[in-house]
Structure formats: structure tokens, C-alpha cells
Amino acid sequence: MKKDLEKFVVAKTQDLLKAPSACPEVKAAATAWLKAVGTKDEAAETKKYLKEIEEDILPIDDMIAFVASPEGTKLFGAEAAKKTLAAAKEHKAKGGKYCICPACTACAAILSKKAELLK
């Protein structure tokens, strides 16, 4: 893997691991990938990591629906839900495909390099 690509994905993976919104499965895949970088297992772990990210990343429409729901309002609180909903709709209007939480933002950045990672 090219060093600039590695540096980018390692940084985004560290962001993902710090994100409170990241699920345990993606954190486990991220940790396994970090351990495999530079080893003979790197290619296999990269495929597993990307697959997990694709399974876990939340589409923007699903995020909007959740934040607008009673459950979303309960989780975020009324005012924060309103602000988050507005931000999510703005993100979608600008072409955003995925949730704007820290975990999904890191995952989207990693997925933007998928073709390079699979070379």
C-alpha cells in the first residue's frame, strides 16, 4: 500500500475507533486491520474491514428518518434532534450519501479510497 494512502486510512481508522457512535463490530474490524498493516495478512484484513464498513455505514435517508422519529428525539433531546436533522438534510442536499456522525464520517472517508485499497 502506498504510504500516503496508508497514512490517510490509518488516521481515519483512528477517528473511527474514537467515535462513540461506532459499533463494536466495526471497531473490531478496524483494530484487526491496524494490526495487519504491513503484514502478509494486510490484503485479507483490508477486504474484511471494507466489508464491515459497508455493512455498518448508515445511509443519510436512514439517519434523517431516525433523527426525525420519536426515538431519535428521545436519544438526542428535542433541540439537538432539530439541529441534527437540519444538518443531515443540508448534508443530503449537498450530495452526502451517509450519516454525519463521527463513525459514519470516518467510514465514508475510508470507503472513498476503496478502489485504491483493493489494488
Q: Please write the tens of the pLDDT for every residue from 58-107.
A: 999 999 999 999 999 999 999 999 999 999 999 999 999 999 999 999 99
Same domain, 63 and 52: no
The helix or strand, by DSSP H or E, that contains position 119, with its residue range, turns out to be none
Same domain, 40 and 71: no
**Number of structural domains, the chain?**
2
Which range marks the domain in which residue 29 is found?
A: 1-57+101-119
Same domain, 7 and 50: yes
Residue written as grid cell 477517528: 15
- Name the pTM for this structure: 0.92
Same domain, 16 and 37: yes
Report in angstroms the alpha-carbon separations of 100 from 17, 45, 89: 16, 26, 10
